[in-house]
A and B are shown apart, each in its own frame.
Chain A
Amino acid sequence: MATISDHIAAGTADDGVGQPLTAADGTPLKKKLAQANRRARLRATLLVAPLLLFVLITFVVPIGQMLVQSFYEPTFSQVLPRTTAALQSWDGRDLPDESVYAAFAEDLKDARANRTIGQVATRVNYAHAGSRSAFTSTARKAERFEAPFKEALIAADEDWGDRELWSAMKWASQGYTSEFYLAAVDRTRDVDGNIVMVEEYRQIYVKILLRTLYLAGLITGLCLLLGYPVAYLLASLPTRTSNLLMILVLLPFWTSLLVRTTAWIALLQSQGVVNDILVALRFIDDDSRLQMIYNQTGTIIAMTHILLPFAILPLFSVMKTIPPSYMRAARSLGATPWTAFWRVYVPQTVPGIAAGVLLVFILAVGYYITPALVGGQDGQLISNFIALHMQKTLNWSMAAALGGILLATILVLYWLFNKMVGIDRLKLG
């Protein structure tokens, strides 16, 4: 719009006419146009504002806050400010000197009085396991410490003579930390600050992330494999029949997720319907009932079923628009049924395939409740570990770091997908 008003302004100058163009009420046209533009922009902004605010408050702010928490953990410096200041000059080679211990003893008194010592103890315990009670029990004696504090503290708990603990405290005292992201990829810092792998028995998150991607990929593949023929059938049947069948696809979609998951438990458990039938038909022995739930198999079966409509619906809506005459034309020009299908039909459904794959995959990567209920031990996904850190261990920074890594992974995959398929070709329905 600005260009039009510029043009008018330029035009009037070029014409060499002295009088600028005016509207009916006598105001210059240029000004009038700017006013109208402003009003239109304001109206548009006001219309969008509720959604913008909604997205900002419910989406951007919490996610931003979560991501901040994954690398910013100021508990230590807030609760123990003097120690934090004193630790800055410690080079980490030997035990800290008396001034650090004195500052620490002073801080402990305050932390004990404010009942905040537990927060610091928990924070340092993430990095240096087993140190929690050193903080809480020493804080209980904090009132009685006298100089020299170094000896007094080490006498109170020998952990205060441990350079590794002080090193962990120095790392914790810096509010900004990479500790949680390192832990989320099974790495840690040793006493000298080098990044090393954690002990083998604690390596878990990389494995879980890879498993999550693998299972999500597998489930997406299964959904596509099962959904494609169903969508084709729905799209090619007469409307009356296809509407009826559509209800069968949508009915589970309208049923509560928990009900569907629980139904799978009833079907698949070792005393469940499927096993009972197999035993009754003597396919298997009563003692060797199949374990189909509370493991990876359970997760795959239940999630494929639950996510199937997300693959069928976009496929269906795309297939519906493909005229059957194209296939007939291909056949009449001599193509075999397979060639006609593969060379003519399938390429036209790519937007539907792409939409279905993207939807199912992204939903599957972050799935929580179904694997939690039917996944047993080896069917757990990364979101179950995020929930674990949110709800059980209360290490929210760790949960945030895992969430951050999951988010980054999905963004990378989305970028790759865009490169390969092109996001503008998507068709959701």
Chain B
Amino acid sequence: MKTVLKSALLATAFGVAAATAASAGELTVVSWGGAYTKSQVEAYQKPWMAKTGNTIRSEDYNGGIAEIKAQVEAGNVTWDIVDVELSDAVRACDEGLVIPIDPAILEPAPDGTPAVDDFIPGTLSECGVATIVWSTIYAYDADKIDGDTPATIEDFFDLEKFPGKRGMRKTPKANLEFALLADGVPAGDVYEILASPEGVERAFKKLDTIKDSVVWWEAGAQPPQLLADGEVVMTTAYNGRIFNAAAGENKPFEIVWDGQIWDIDLWVILEGAPNKEEALDFLKFSTSTQALADQATWISYGPARKSSAPLVGMYQDGKTDMGPQMPTAPENMKNAVQNNFEFWADHQDELNERFNAWLAG
């Protein structure tokens, strides 16, 4: 009875998600949409479908584990494999929402190095296998700013030097880190300071200085749109989205790498996924050295395998070298912070609450 009641509640709350039941044999792959999903379709999905003859249904979402939790707890799982952030992969794993994946099943590198040694340290977790290294940066429209151009994270918070609206993701994650960096905290100390009440206070104080000028975005496809529409003069964004708008659509967007916050995205497979075997096969296929290198020619996210890096060449236009566009390029890493998943797993409830109180205030 308990589960019946629970599923009744869940079905009401997530009616739409539950209503779209997948047909068996059709793998449901869920990712973040837009240019990013396109890169995965081109590099992973099409070759995999050609190789295995299976079909894939591609769905979009905006991150978080709410839908995953709803499906698994209601016993009505329609998604098979989902692209998630590290902190969400760890949390879903701890709550038993996704299945553990043994790294031994992954393809070795072309030279025979086992996958465990080939993946960049920290990109394999108990339940997830990383595909990319991505980064939250800020970008501006070069046509809209005359004279001095923004170059540091301080400039993003400097309304006098660069007046105009700012775009920011509607979440405390990354924004609090940016605020501390702009307030003069060295990249290495950000999380240590943020773990104390004074540090949080300091970060919100810094955000207060631009609060009235901020336009909040939620989906990754929004920031390039906000820039293109002239709604903001600069915005935080996922680096790949800005790159694709700039290189693919010739928008005059420039990325500022100073203070970038990088993170990884991983595949996780849902507990009770209807097509678990196919999902595992797809996961193995898409995390092979070649597939990861191929994806990096569609969007500027760094491959999670060391052996993929030398294989990455030009962007689809045939003239943009992808190397310097990657978050992991040495010149981009000078003042970079790695997103601390453990900090966010611990403090996201509290900080989300505070962030929302701050927003509504």
Contact = CB atoms under 8 A, between A and B. Distances in A.
Interface of A: 57-58, 61-62, 65-66, 69, 114-119, 121-122, 125-126, 129-133, 136, 201-204, 207-208, 269-271, 294, 376-378, 380, 385, 388, 390-395
A351 B349 CA distance: 47
Contact of A62 (B9, B91, B353, B354): B9
B359 interface: yes
Interface in B267-292: none
B13 A208 contact: no
A202 B93 contact: no
Residue in A61, A201, A376 with the greatest tally of chain B CB atoms within 10 Å: A201
Interface stretch (B30-38, B47-55, B320-328, B340-348): B340-348
A119 B93 CA distance: 10
A390 B90 CA distance: 20
A129 B94 CA distance: 17
Given A202-B357, A388-B356, A390-B13, A118 B96 contact: yes
Contacts of A203: 357
B317 interface: no
A131 B342 CA distance: 11
Contact of B346 (A66, A131, A204, A394): A131
Contacts of B8: 57, 61-62, 65
A117 B90 CA distance: 12
A204 B361 CA distance: 8
Given A118-B91, A204-B360, A126 B352 contact: no
Given A57-B8, A117-B94, 9 more contacts: A65-B6, A65-B8, A119-B96, A126-B349, A129-B347, A130-B346, A136-B94, A201-B204, A393-B348
B162 interface: no
A392 B66 contact: yes
A271 B342 contact: no
A125 B64 contact: no
A133 B215 contact: no
Contacts of A121: 94
Contacts of A136: 90, 94, 345
B121 interface: no
The 5 tightest CB contacts between A and B, nearest first, are A118-B94, A129-B350, A118-B95, A115-B96, A204-B357
Interface string B182-220: 000000000000010000000010000000000110000
A207 B5 CA distance: 32
B101 to A, nearest CB: 13
A122 B348 CA distance: 10
Nearest to B215: A294
A155 B347 CA distance: 22
B306 interface: no
Contacts of A114: 96
A41 B91 CA distance: 55
B25 interface: no
A343 B254 CA distance: 68
B42 interface: no
A115 B358 CA distance: 35
22 contacts: A61-B8, A117-B94, A118-B93, A121-B94, A122-B91, A122-B349, A125-B346, A125-B349, A129-B346, A129-B347, A129-B350, A130-B347, A132-B346, A133-B342, A269-B231, A388-B356, A390-B13, A392-B352, A393-B348, A393-B349, A393-B352, A394-B65
Nearest to A207: B360
Contacts of A58: 12
B211 to A, nearest CB: 8
B119 to A, nearest CB: 20
Contacts of B346: 125, 129-133
B69 interface: yes
A202 B216 contact: no
Contacts of B342: 133
A274 to B, nearest CB: 16
Contacts of B66: 390-392, 394
A58 B8 CA distance: 8
A62 B8 CA distance: 6
A342 B315 CA distance: 74
Contacts of A393: 348-349, 352-353
Contacts of B195: 130
A170 B96 CA distance: 24
A57 B11 CA distance: 12
B75 interface: no
B110 interface: no
Contacts of B357: 201-204
Interface in B91-117: 91-96
A69 B2 CA distance: 12
Contacts of B356: 204, 385, 388
Nearest to B200: A201
A67 to B, nearest CB: 11
A194 B12 CA distance: 36
Given A61-B5, A294-B215, A392 B91 contact: no
B64 A391 contact: yes
B229 interface: yes
Contacts of B92: 118
Interface in B52-97: 64-66, 69, 90-96
Contacts of A132: 345-346
